[in-house]
Amino acid sequence: MKISYVKGISFGLTSGIITTLGMMVGLHAGTHSKLAVLGGVLTIAIADAFSDALGIHISEESENQHTAKEIWESTLATFAAKFVFALTFVIPILLLELNQAIWVSIIWGMLVLGCISCWMARDQKAPIWHVVGEHWGIAVVVIVITHYVGEWISMTFGGFA
């Protein structure tokens, strides 16, 4: 696979997992509202996919080492990966009770992140569990922090709703 697609897909998937899970967990902790979490996922799928795609586009342009075609391949791959993957989190939200949907989403996101990490580790000939552990560790930190931030926001500002 071309490096421009690999960059875009790996960035888009990773960002889709971390950003969407963090937002979902935070909104759930703060609101316990299926509508809020669903709205957040759809917003991430659209706005953040465009934002990340533009970020990759500008980053690749700033290196001054890529053709216009390679830059656009990375841009479109980032958008597609983030957009499509973020939308996969809608399925458990629509089909399950919200608490279950959050846990299913966490498991789904961690599974895909683990697969990406394994693929990367093999490609780089690095210890698989070191790479997977590092990436899962970062994801868990994001999930835990956003959960507590959501709870704090609910306790602090809940009376304003």
Evaluate the CA torsion angle 71, 47, 149, 88 in order and state its sign: negative
Determine contact, residues 48/15, Cβ cutoff 8 Å: yes
pLDDT value for 158: 83
Q: What is the pLDDT along the chain (161 residues), one digit of tens a residue?
A: 799 999 999 999 999 999 999 999 999 999 999 999 999 999 999 999 999 999 999 999 999 999 999 999 999 999 999 999 999 999 999 999 999 999 999 999 999 999 999 999 999 999 999 999 999 999 999 999 999 999 999 999 987 75
